Amino acid sequence: MEKKTFAVLGMMCAGCAANVERRLNQTEGVQSASVNLPARTALIDYDETVTSPEQMKESLSAIGYDLVIEEDRNVEAIERRAYTGLMMKVVASWVIAAVVMAISMGWINIGTRDTANQSMLILALLNILYPGRQFYVNTVRQLMHASANMDTLVALSTGISFLFSAFNTFWGESYWGAQGIEWHTYFDASVMIITFVLTGRLMEERAKHSTASAIRDLMSLTPKTARLVVDGSTVDAPISALQPGDTIEVRAGEKIPVDGTVVGDSVAYIDESMMTGESVAVEKKTGDKVLAGTIVKEGMLRFKAEEIGQKTVLANMIRMVQEAQGSKAPVQRIVDKIALIFVPAVGGIALLTFLAWYLIGGQAYLPQAILSAVSVLVIACPCAMGLATPTALMVGIGKAAEKNILIKDATALEEIRKVNAMVVDKTGTLTQQPIANSQQPTANEELKPHAREAMQQLQQMGIEVYMMSGDKEERAKEIAHEAGIEHYRSEVLPQDKENLVRDLQAQGKHVAMVGDGINDSQALARADVSIAMGKGTDVAMDVAQVTLMGTDLRRIPDAISLSKQTVNMIHQNLFWAFIYNIICIPLAAGLPYLFGVHWQITPMWASALMAFSSVSVVLNSLRLKIKK
């Protein structure tokens, strides 16, 4: 099995994401596919003996989306061009809209009513053919494969408005006038719907760009070139040309390009804060490990490359964050199912709205029936629902990464907030790791900086803390007292740690385990939430749902607080997304008329409100960035 994250181009709404995910999951050989709309990515777990990225790309291409599988394609450059193109369409649409509104409102007098209508018809057609063209192209592609998305709603609403207005332009007087029915054209609605939807998407794109800032910051840590040592002299080479075993030179102020081991008489001080959160520069000399993305603050060093490309620690961090941001929280899976049927359901509601008005008033109410149906099609946007969870998750997981907290998936982020009991390993977690030399082993007999403060914060949050130690009773009691921990156990074996976790769970506790060694892996696997120290063993980090880079234990309460903030934000977003549709759809359908109130949301305002709903959800999620 292969698990990879691919960029997906062409997704604009929650319906798009649902269609892409469904298409991928229907592909033979794909075990699971999870699509992240804000990040424009798909996390795919597939059997490479059954299917291939090329086959998945072809499958998505058939419904109008592009799976980026080529390593040399610059996705960021493609998205920048797409953003520029969207901006040009927005400007063009606003120019057309301004002229159409001026004619419609009588601010520009261009002759007779027929001349004005014909002029607006031409402008509205131009708006459809250039700024709005993609809505119609995508709708045709979707319908050919029995699917629909937000583009379908926009194409239907603007198409109906345009065609009805075109009919009235040429036959309004002879058909409606002959029956004594007042008639109008609604080219302004057709134009403004496209204008507002495109404007909303432009604003969304700007806001979504901010949600992915953590990944971009991590990616920017890797330099583009390296100074390769060849026959005693140096030559600049692209990162892609480096091989394991190459000797690389890095000078003060430069970033280390790949992972490796210092060789020769090199000595330098390295800033590893972006990897560990530790602000003090670390001395590196012969035999020490250096990591890609860290910065030489003083001195100069040469090192032998060992892990390059996607195998570096930094690349693994980026991959972990990407996969976590692309994973789905349990609540998101429910929303995805709603989004998948939402567009067809809205089409049904719009049809019922049309029939209700027509049955109430007959031929004379046909314009009202059409406008009400168009308003329902426009205002009922699934985008806000589709963006509610992933945007908050992207910001939350990204903010965690900035604080050197790596969260494996969305479920872990959701679960951390529920923790009310925590089992903490002593050696290597609360205290410094044992240090051994050739003469005799010595242990550093002290607590890590801020360990006591972190334990106090956890207990103030209502979390019971239990320290587990293999030390004798006297030593374990001493460390527990220093750390401010009331509950502790001494002389424990790995099985004892797991048993404690199991016992606490049997009491109804939601248990987190914090450890760093192989002897903690059993308890880590058993816990509801597993937390590993980033300087611990690979086994502990593989099992753990959360990895703390560095030694600062205050990141544990930080992670819990961030989890609570993120989940609260998701709930806020979903509330507003659902309440928006619950309130606005009846208003757009004209429900107030039943109670004697002659008012409803018009198609033009419906498009503005729809655009605002999606943007507001993204902006609300971005508030996480500034929360403490």
Q: Supply the residues annotated as catalytic.
A: 425
Residues ≥6 apart with Cβ < 8 Å to 101: 107, 188, 191, 192
d(CA 600, CA 191): 19
Angle between helices 366-379 and 187-211 (to 10 degrees): 10
In whole angstroms, what is the distance from residue 378 CA to residue 192 CA? Answer: 11
End-to-end CA distance of the chain: 40
> Would you list the DSSP string of 480-532?
HHHHT-SEEE-S--HHHHHHHHHHHHHTT--EEEEE-SGGGHHHHHHSSEEEE
29 burial type by CB count under 10 A (0-12 exposed, 13-18 middle, 19+ buried): middle
DSSP element (H, E) containing 412: helix 410-416
Reference 454, options 444, 470, 465, 443; nearest CA is 465
CA dist 116 and 103 (Å) reads 7
CB 610 within 8 A of CB 566: no
When computed from its CA atoms, the radius of gyration of the chain, rounded to whole angstroms, is: 30
Q: Is the Cβ–Cβ distance between 154 and 197 less than 8 Å?
A: yes
Q: Do residues 424 and 514 make contact, with C-beta atoms less than 8 angstroms apart?
A: yes
Helix (H) or strand (E) run with residue 443 in it: strand 441-443
Residues linked to residue 366 through DSSP beta bridges, in sequence order: none
Take residue 510 and report the two structure tokens written for it: 């939601």
